Structure 1
Amino acid sequence: MGFYVKVEPGVRLYVEELNPEGREAILFLHGWPASHRMFEYQFDELFRLGYRCIGVDCRGFGKADKPAGGYDYDRQADDILAVVQALRLENATLLGHSTGGAIAVRYMARHGCGFARLALCAAAAPSLIRRPYFPHGLEREAVEKIIAGTLADRPAMLRDFGDMFFFQYKTQPLMEWFFQMGLEAAGWATAAVAQVWLDEERLFADLGEIRVPTLIMHGIHDRVCHFPLGVAQHEGIACSRLVPFKYSGHGLFYDEREKFNAELARFAAGR
């Protein structure tokens, strides 16, 4: 069932919910530049196991409204709070992939309500790029190139990004499906979120504010959010567990989807 949740005047997020009466609820936050549909193969399996699956299209992406602004992590965390309140979530699991993981970290530090567990997969935290005090991640110039490519030839940029997303071989139809998801986003939103990667530095402090059990899943071949980011998350979150995915890149939810689904199902059930 799909519906919209108003998060501020003139802005609605699109929400897809499967099995509203299911047992444990999992709210999925997608990565850049996709939508909740990237978790199709998690919804298929977890729905069958009886979980309540809630996918959210963040502002600017998928079927969500696409305003001119509001793409910083504070505003996006506030957007998620509006969804949590609308659905009256309690004791749920919040899962975030890549940029969705960064938003999830900010949400837990800024609000925290509604969720008893946090799952981070290939999360863009505490920093997607290298900084003088953080020697991991992409070079700043690589992100600047993504922004320039978005504004000059977004389809070409998306093709290049898709080529580095997965580690294992993927069929051409699946890559086309992933490419089309990226095209659903607004160009201005795609560029604005990439700019946030350059500007945002408060996630380092946010990690220390997280007090719920946290599952960190990260592909060791990730070319977008390098594996040391997962290590830094584990070091920064007191009650966390890091699970390396030895045969995965950034798209670990598909590269090793059976392992991913099993880990997430156990975690969401409190095991």
Structure 2
Amino acid sequence: MKKMIKGTNHASIAVEDVGDGQPIVFLHGWPFDHQMFEYQYNYFLPRGYRMIGIDFRGFGESDLVIEDYGYNTLADDVKSVLEDLHIEEAILVGFSMGGAVATRYMARHKGFGIKKLILISAAVPQFAKKPAYSIGIKKSEITAMVEQIQVDRPKLIQDFIKKLFHEKTLVSYKGWLTNLALGASSYGMILSALAMRDENVREDLEKITVSTLICHGKKDTVCSYEVVEEMTQLISKTIVVPFRKSGHAIFHDETEKLNRTMLMFIQNKN
């Protein structure tokens, strides 16, 4: 069932809410929407879980807002959704940018409604390189991406999608992701890219107290595997599963392993 829920500053946030049982809340990566988790929905729904997919503002069917796309605002939108749906004991799953927002959510809202956290190819503690931080993408590269969005967004999307995979990828699958990304607003893509360039969630990681599963591709060229060491140092309770055959898009490169790993973690009583 699709729902529109009022988020921060009255923005309408689109939510896919289907199934019964323990809720699993999905936060998508840039520049897609909740539909990128289709193969997780297909796996968990028949196993008795409730799937809740949230489209960030400016993406999917959520409102295009010409205001703040910072992590605080996106985390507040998530809080509005969980409050509206009366969510408790949920599993929060964040991919890439969604992983950074999930991290901010856990710190800013003290893990409201969340029992466990799963970070997939997470863009943490920060996405961009800085003088004191050598891991990540150069800020100038992100700025160049923003500039290209304004002149040839389809080309930017196609080039970005090529970087996601390690294993050979079906052309049809790349086309599907391209269509998801084209469904986003260009303005939402721009402002969230700038947020990724400038935000830092290092202090937020230290405030996570729930059991956390970290899934990361060893061949990831978007968010280097090097960030995993810092995540394990900062989060108190972590389980790390490396995906040796995966790039950034482990949801495609090793779909079955990802789904099995998530299920084992969710079912574990610890």
Give the TM-score normalised by the residue count of structure 1.
0.96
- Residues in 2 aligned to 1:240 and 1:208: alpha-carbon distance in whole angstroms: 12
Percent of matched pairs sharing the same residue = 37
State how 1:2-17 maps to structure 2 within 5 Å: 2-17=2-17
Amino acid at match of 2:8: E
Instruction: Answer whether contact 2:8 2:76 (CA < 8 A) is retained.
Output: no
Contact 1:26 1:268 in 2 (8 A): no
Q: Secondary structure at the match of 1:53?
A: strand
1:176 aligns with 2:175: yes
Counterpart of 2:146 in structure 1 is: 147
Which residue matches 2:89? 91
Equivalent position to 2:102, from 101, 104, 107: 104
Instruction: Decide whether the 8 Å contact of 2:128 with 2:196 is kept in 1.
Output: yes
- Structure 2 match to 1:246: 244
The code of the aligned residue for 2:2 comes to G
Measure the CA separation in 1 of the matches of 2:252 and 2:69.
Answer: 27
Provide the rounded CA distance (Å) in 1 between the counterparts of 2:181 and 2:59: 8
Extract unaligned runs of 5+ from structure 1: none
Q: Aligned AA for 1:86? A: D
CA distance in structure 1 between the aligned counterparts of 2:43 and 2:30, rounded to whole angstroms: 23
Alpha-carbon RMSD: 1.1
Tell me which amino acid in the other structure corresponds to 1:257: T
Q: Is residue 217–residue 225 contact of structure 2 (8 Å, CA) maintained in 1? A: yes
How big is the shift at 1:119?
A: 0.5
2:165 maps to what in 1? 166
1:69 Cα deviation after fit:
1.4
Partner Cα separation in structure 2 for residue 213 and residue 168 of structure 1:
30
- Cα deviation, 1:164-205, whole Å, max 9, x if unaligned, reads 01111111111111001101111111011111122212x111
Q: 1:70 Cα shift?
A: 2.3
Matched letter for residue 4 of structure 2? Y
| Letter matched to residue 34 of structure 1 | F
Query: Which residue of structure 2 lines up, in the alignment, with residue 124 of structure 1?
Result: 123
Residue identity in the other structure for 1:259 = K
The corresponding residue for 1:185 is: 184
2:161–2:177 contact (8 Å) kept in structure 1:
yes
- The aligned length equals 268
Residue ranges of structure 2 left out of the alignment (5+ in a row)? none
String of CA shifts for 1:32-85, please: whole Å, max 9, x gaps. Answer: 000000000000011111111111111000111111012000011000000010
Are the aligned partners of 1:168 and 1:248 in contact in 2 as well (CA < 8 Å)? Answer: yes
> Are the counterparts in 2 of residues 127 and 229 from structure 1 also a CA contact under 8 Å?
no
2: distance between equivalents of 1:61 and 1:243? 29
**Aligned-residue offset at 1:245:** 0.4
**5 Å matches for 1:1-271?**
1-19=1-19, 21-22=20-21, 24-111=22-109, 112-201=111-200, 203-271=201-269
Instruction: Give the conservation status (yes or no) of the 8 Å contact 1:90–1:115.
Output: yes
Secondary structure at 1:227 match in 2: coil
**What's the offset of the Cα at 1:18?**
1.9
* Contact 1:71–1:196 (Cα < 8 Å) also in 2: yes
CA displacement 1:109-146 (0-9 Å, x = unmatched): 00011001110000111011122222211122221121
Conserved in 1, the CA contact under 8 Å of 2:94 and 2:122?
yes
Report the Cα offset of residue 9 of structure 1: 4.5
